Structure formats: C-alpha cells, structure tokens
Amino acid sequence: MKQLPKVARKLLWVTAILVLASGLLVALALNYLRDQAHVAAHQSTAATARIVQEQTERTLQNVDQRLQLAAVRLQQLDSAHKLTQTTAQAVLREQVHDMPFVRAIWVMDAKGFIVFDSDHGYPGVNLGRPSLLSGPLCSNPTPGLFGCPGQKPQGHQWVISARAPPTRPTARLPALWWRRSTPPTLHHVVHAEPGPDGSVSLFRSDAVLMMRSPWVEDSIGKTFTEMPALQRCPRGQNSGTFESTSPFDQIKRDYAYRAMSNYPAVVVVGKTHDTTFTPWQRMATLASGVWLLASACIVVLVCFLVRDLARRETAEQQLRENKAKSKPCSTHCPT
C-alpha cells in the first residue's frame, strides 16, 4: 500500500481533530442544557406545588369559614331558644350546599354522639366507634385537625373528617364540628397539571396519606414516614425539592413539597423524568443527528480530497520517473 502524501496525512489529522473537538463541544453543550432542564424542572415542580398548596389551603379555609358561620347561626338560634332538630338541620344543610366537596356537617358532644346533623337519621349515633368512621376522635383535638381516611360501611365510600370547635361552646352546643369529604376529589380541588404520570398528594403532618391523584386506594390512610418531605418538615424545612422513586407506583419523579401554613398537612407534587427530559432528549437527538450527518459529510469530502491528492501525487511521481528515464536517451542518442 502506497504511503499517503504528507499534505493528505495532515488533512486527515486535522479533520479527525476537528470532528472529535466538535463532538466534545456538542456533548458539553448538551450536558449543560440537561442540567439547565433539570433546574428548570425543579423550579416548575416547586411552582406547581405552591399553586396546589395555595388552592388546597384556600379551599380548606373556605370550608372553615362556612363551619364557623354555621356555628354562629346555631348559637344565635340557641340564644333565641329556637334551636331544634329542624332549625339546626336547615342551617347545616345551607352551609353544606355552599361548601365544595363537603358531604355533611355534624355537631357532636365530647363523647362522639351526634347532637345535630345535616343528614337524616344520625342524631344520637355514636361516631366514636371505629366501625362507623375510621379514626374520628384520634390524636389530640386540635382545631382544624384532619381525621383518618376511612370507608363508610355502606357503599364503601371513602371519607375524610376534620373538626373545628364552636367559638362559644354552650350547654346545647358542646360539640366538635365535623365535616367529611371524598378524598378522590383532590384533582378537582386544584387546577394545576403535573404532566403525564405526574402526581399530587396530600399528607397529614404525621405522614398519613389523605388524598392522592392518581388515586391509589390501597395506600390511603397509611403512614409513609420514609418520604423525604415528611422527614424534613418537622425540622423546619417547610418547602423544598427532592428526587425519589414513588412508593405507590415505583416511578422515579422529581418532587416538590410545601407545608400548609394554617393546617397540619403537606402537599407533595411529582413530575416524572420523562416529562422533565423529553424536550431535552428531542433536542439532543436532533443535535446529535445533525452533528453525525455533518461529520459524515466532512469525512466523505476529505476522503475524496485525499484520494485526489494521492492520485495527483502518483501522477506527478510517474511523470518525474518518465522524465528521468527519457533524459539519458536524449543525451546519448546521435543527432
């Protein structure tokens, strides 16, 4: 095999260096853009978590205000000696009608017996029994405390209870106020889309899962102390981001969490890595394809050029050899 001309060898080396250098620059640029996409995804997830937290807290505040309004009206009826089952039920039904996601309001005494309610046939029922409602009187009686999620015996409907005491307890109104709502309505409470395969979860401050979208029935009411968000909140880190594999569906997500300021609850929003990096992957595929195509074109052109240089060098070499052979003949031949 004939040795390539010196110029051709230099051209091949320069081409190889340029292709490798351009590939390295493309890789560095794509890696930088990937980091930026990751940062932007964290910021986007954190912004979504803030929206979810504000909307959820606003909904709960609206319910609390309605409960307090119902308490005031019942106390007014009690002061006017007009508080009966009929008048109390009318007041409670009016408030339930105007409250989103609330199914019933009950007025109970300290032992868990219903005194007044917005439904039919519940006065006198003892809700302190776990068979009727899962965990209604668990934990300490903090105003606004969430009860444990549970299912009603009839219809297997999931319910969440929460309580708030009347502003001025009286002999006829010694009760805790209870409201109940269906957990699957979380995606109706908020108007923020976490993207495909994203998740929105509401945890109680003691790590009990209250609601989740998508709905995972087997996990509702269970404790998830291993969640980083629920480990950080007790240490005063009321908001932040982290990466983790979901214990519910085993999907790896970027998470952001925010603790509610007025309620013992934490909102956790998750976005999948596919959602985070799909735009970057498309751009990386396009950029890599363009680089490969451009590099291939350059290599092909350089190969043609090197071959042409080699042919030219060979032709010149043959010409010089022919001249060298013909020169002695012209010198010694007789004229």
Mean pLDDT of the chain: 75
Q: Kindly state whether residues 143 and 232 are assigned to the same domain.
A: no
Regarding predicted confidence, which is higher, 46 or 249? 46
Q: Kindly state whether residues 47 and 157 are assigned to the same domain.
A: no
Q: Kindly state whether residues 104 and 116 are assigned to the same domain.
A: yes
Sign of CA dihedral 77, 78, 81, 84: positive
Tell me the percentage of the chain whose pLDDT exceeds 70.
71
Q: Which of 276, 297, 319 is the last residue of a domain?
A: 276
pLDDT of residue 285: 92
Q: Kindly state whether residues 159 and 87 are assigned to the same domain.
A: yes
d(CA 52, CA 268): 9
Confidence bin at 272 (pLDDT 50/70/90):
confident
Regarding predicted confidence, which is higher, 73 or 32? 32
Domain-embedded: residue 300: no
pLDDT of residue 130: 42
Average pLDDT over residues 183-205: 68
pLDDT of residue 23: 92
Average pLDDT over residues 216-232: 80
Average pLDDT over residues 29-58: 87
Regarding predicted confidence, which is higher, 234 or 265? 265
What's the total number of domains in the chain? 2
Q: Which residues lie below 8 Å from residue 76, measured CB to CB, with a gap of 6+?
A: none
pLDDT of residue 290: 93
pLDDT of residue 140: 38
pLDDT in tens, 59-78: 878 777 777 788 888 888 88
Q: Which of 276, 299, 321 is the last residue of a domain?
A: 276
Residue 160's domain comprises 65-183
Domain-embedded: residue 152: yes
Sign of CA dihedral 19, 24, 25, 30: positive
Q: Kindly state whether residues 179 and 258 are assigned to the same domain.
A: no
CATH of the domain at 80: 3.30.450.20
pLDDT of residue 176: 44
pLDDT of residue 229: 80
pLDDT of residue 243: 83
9-23, 158-172, 251-265, range with the lowest pLDDT: 158-172
Q: Kindly state whether residues 72 and 219 are assigned to the same domain.
A: no
Question: What torsion do the CA atoms of 204, 205, 208, 213 make, to the nearest 10 degrees?
Answer: 50
Contact 64, 164 (CB under 8 A): yes
pLDDT in tens, 88-141: 888 888 877 766 667 777 777 767 677 787 876 666 666 654 434 444 333 433
Contact 147, 130 (CB under 8 A): no
Confidence bin at 187 (pLDDT 50/70/90):
low
